Chains A and B, each alone.
Chain A
Amino acid sequence: MASDTLAGTPRTDAEISGLDALEIAGREKAPSRLRRLWSATWPKLAALALAIALWQAVVWSGWKDPWALPGPAPVFADLGHYALTSALWEGLATTARRAAVGFAAAVAVGLLLGLAVARVKVLRAAIGSMITALQTMPSIAWFPLAILLFQLSEQAIFFVVVLGAAPSVANGVIHGVDYVPPLLVRAGRNLGARGLNLYRYVIAPAALPAIVAGLKQGWAFAWRSLMAGELLVVIATRTSIGAQLTYARELSEATRLMAIMIVILVVGIAVDAAFGAADKAIRRRWGVLDQAGN
């Protein structure tokens, strides 16, 4: 039926699909999932083993007394005991709740601020560069002011977490919206996307990779701010992970102190890895993943 209207169309359908097949041949080659997983995992495991070996070597060198710098074995043994106590899990719950609430608030503020600055020229001129400047302010330097304003309370912690993380999120949004290809915007408008629909169908998805990068960086700032806050703002009734770290130092429990540090490190890495996975999934969909799968 395709060639009814024009007698003797010179191309056959076979010719078209043949050319298609030739042109996309060899575009897709996926190494097995297990192989990919292994090639991504073994360097990390090797680095971890090396770090622990180095730690053990320093301990054996006798540089510090074991009560100040315990070796990996007692620390991991204590981490095992600690994992069986309710102290760890209750502390983690308190800290995780603060992280979630603080980060969510930071994301809300960052998204709104970023969108406003990206859209409104005056606002960009006024505070565009200030947002970046705000990022260079060490979050711990906000705490004296936060404690004056909110005393030793969770509000003080949230205040600093939001100030620490929101600029990164906002910068991600601004960067993302700025670099939406103008051609895609024109195509979207021609296809009938105007006003809010243009944001929904074109600008938001096109800006997504940069926004996720902003969220990832924002999380790193939020987690650092939260830990600094929990060390300084100790609320006796809620023994968060940070508070327990302070107690461990006060009681000179070096093994517990290092066990808690490992917990903090692992949580930070786990959440960062989740953002990394999201970022990778997006880039795979877009077809901008490099050969090594990074």
Chain B
Amino acid sequence: MTSTTTTPRSATGSVALRGVTKVYGQGEQAVLALDGVSLDVAPGEFVCLVGASGCGKSTLLNLVAGLDRASGGRIELGEGVNPGLMFQEPALFPWLTVEANVEVPLKLRGLPRNERKARVAELLRTVHLSDFGRKRPHQLSGGMRQRVALARTLALDTPVLLMDEPFGALDAMTRDILHDELERIWSERRLTVLFVTHNVREAARLADRIILLSSRPGRIIYSTEVDVPRPRRIDSPEIAAIAAEVTDRLRTEVGRHGQ
């Protein structure tokens, strides 16, 4: 269903990239966005991809989501797995209520009405928005909209969640709350998360493993495990120390382009 380069594997929540390459354009104007990216994400693992502009982070997620085709290499997902994708914008359908937005993937899967209603209620409870089902997206705050988008993505019942800077447009306090919420939902549902961000602290707060991508072309240049016990606080010294280490690497990489 996703792309021709995607082959099914039995372990459902796992994501494997094997020498994935992406070229945009043709001939002399061709741009190499991703150059042989190989990565194994274990089921239930939380991986943050960090990099400066032009490192192909979003491209990578689009490839895994099957919204775009790789130019080379393979992407391996569990059998029948369609990863859910979240964007920086909530991308809610403005003509639908909150409930109806969450219901869309259930409708598309052909679930009967009763079952859909029950699932929608359960998902809204999960993101603490039970009282807002009848509202329209424009009546909610940015953080609430992003939680609706999360509920809608969870309605896909997929073990793999792809997140493209989902909290980038939110204020710090709302972002902190959403970090806690995401961590809770991730652990409750044993999701595999591939989370793209340029915020190094956010990555250290959330990830089991941080992967640093170089820019133009995107390659994996550094990877580190985050061995801080959960629950974590973004302002704790352990998180700050890891963030500092990753930031130094990132600066070196960005500096390379200045010469």
In the bound complex, residues from chain B placing their C-beta under 8 Å from that of A285 are 94-95, 136
Asked if residues B138 and A190 are in contact (CB atoms below 8 Å), the reply is no
Report if A189 contacts B (CB, 8 A). yes
The 3 nearest A-B residue pairs measured at CB: A287-B138, A23-B141, A187-B91
In the bound complex, residues from chain B placing their C-beta under 8 Å from that of A7 are 231
Asked if residues B184 and A9 are in contact (CB atoms below 8 Å), the reply is yes
In the bound complex, residues from chain B placing their C-beta under 8 Å from that of A206 are 93, 95
Chain B residues packing against A (C-beta within 8 Å): 65, 67, 82, 84-85, 87, 89, 91, 93-96, 104-105, 107-109, 128-129, 132, 136-144, 152-153, 156, 173-174, 177, 180-181, 183-184, 187-188, 230-231, 233
Report if A201 contacts B (CB, 8 A). yes
* Bound: A188/B85 CA distance, A: 10
Stretch of A10-18, A52-60, A248-256 on the interface side: A10-18
Most buried by B among A3, A193, A282, A287: A287
* Bound: A11/B178 CA distance, A: 10
Asked if residues A287 and B136 are in contact (CB atoms below 8 Å), the reply is yes
Contact of A15 among B144, B152, B177 (CB under 8 A): B177
Contact size range, A:
35 or more
Known contacts A16-B177, A23-B144; A189 and B67 CB within 8 A of each other: yes
Asked if residues A10 and B233 are in contact (CB atoms below 8 Å), the reply is yes
* Bound: A86/B109 CA distance, A: 56
Report if A184 contacts B (CB, 8 A). yes
Known contacts A191-B156, A192-B82, A192-B105; A19 and B177 CB within 8 A of each other: yes
Asked if residues B67 and A186 are in contact (CB atoms below 8 Å), the reply is yes
Asked if residues A24 and B231 are in contact (CB atoms below 8 Å), the reply is no
* Bound: A288/B144 CA distance, A: 19
Report if A183 contacts B (CB, 8 A). yes
A-B contact pairs, 18 of them (CB 8 A): A2-B184, A6-B183, A8-B231, A10-B180, A13-B128, A16-B128, A16-B181, A23-B141, A24-B144, A27-B139, A183-B87, A186-B87, A187-B87, A190-B85, A190-B153, A286-B138, A287-B136, A287-B139
Contact of A6 among B94, B152, B230, B233 (CB under 8 A): B230
Nearest to B95 among chain A residues (CB) is A205
Interface of A is mostly: helix
* Bound: A133/B206 CA distance, A: 57
In the bound complex, residues from chain A placing their C-beta under 8 Å from that of B174 are 19, 23
* Bound: A11/B65 CA distance, A: 31
A257-294 interface (Cβ within 8 A of B) = 282, 285-288
Nearest to B140 among chain A residues (CB) is A24
Known contacts A5-B188, A6-B183, A191-B104; A286 and B95 CB within 8 A of each other: yes
- Distance in angstroms from B88 CB to nearest chain A CB is 9
In the bound complex, residues from chain B placing their C-beta under 8 Å from that of A208 are 95
- Distance in angstroms from B178 CB to nearest chain A CB is 10
Chain A residues packing against B (C-beta within 8 Å): 2-3, 5-11, 13, 15-17, 19-20, 23-24, 27-28, 183-184, 186-193, 197, 201-202, 205-206, 208, 282, 285-288
Asked if residues B89 and A191 are in contact (CB atoms below 8 Å), the reply is no
In the bound complex, residues from chain B placing their C-beta under 8 Å from that of A189 are 67
- Distance in angstroms from A123 CB to nearest chain B CB is 26
Known contacts A27-B139, A192-B109, A286-B95; A19 and B173 CB within 8 A of each other: yes
Asked if residues A17 and B108 are in contact (CB atoms below 8 Å), the reply is no
- Distance in angstroms from B13 CB to nearest chain A CB is 17
Asked if residues B143 and A23 are in contact (CB atoms below 8 Å), the reply is yes
* Bound: A206/B188 CA distance, A: 35
- Distance in angstroms from A11 CB to nearest chain B CB is 5
Asked if residues A24 and B141 are in contact (CB atoms below 8 Å), the reply is yes
- Distance in angstroms from A163 CB to nearest chain B CB is 32
In the bound complex, residues from chain B placing their C-beta under 8 Å from that of A8 are 231
* Bound: A2/B188 CA distance, A: 8
In the bound complex, residues from chain A placing their C-beta under 8 Å from that of B138 are 286-288
Asked if residues B137 and A287 are in contact (CB atoms below 8 Å), the reply is yes
Asked if residues A201 and B177 are in contact (CB atoms below 8 Å), the reply is no
- Distance in angstroms from B208 CB to nearest chain A CB is 14
Nearest to A11 among chain B residues (CB) is B180
* Bound: A6/B109 CA distance, A: 32
* Bound: A189/B129 CA distance, A: 25
Nearest to A2 among chain B residues (CB) is B184
Other than the given A10-B231, A24-B139, A187-B85, 4 more pairs (CB < 8 A) read A10-B180, A19-B177, A286-B95, A286-B138
Nearest to B65 among chain A residues (CB) is A190
Asked if residues A6 and B231 are in contact (CB atoms below 8 Å), the reply is yes
In the bound complex, residues from chain A placing their C-beta under 8 Å from that of B233 are 10
Asked if residues B108 and A28 are in contact (CB atoms below 8 Å), the reply is no
In the bound complex, residues from chain B placing their C-beta under 8 Å from that of A10 are 180, 231, 233
* Bound: A206/B91 CA distance, A: 12
Nearest to A286 among chain B residues (CB) is B94
- Distance in angstroms from A68 CB to nearest chain B CB is 53
- Distance in angstroms from B120 CB to nearest chain A CB is 14
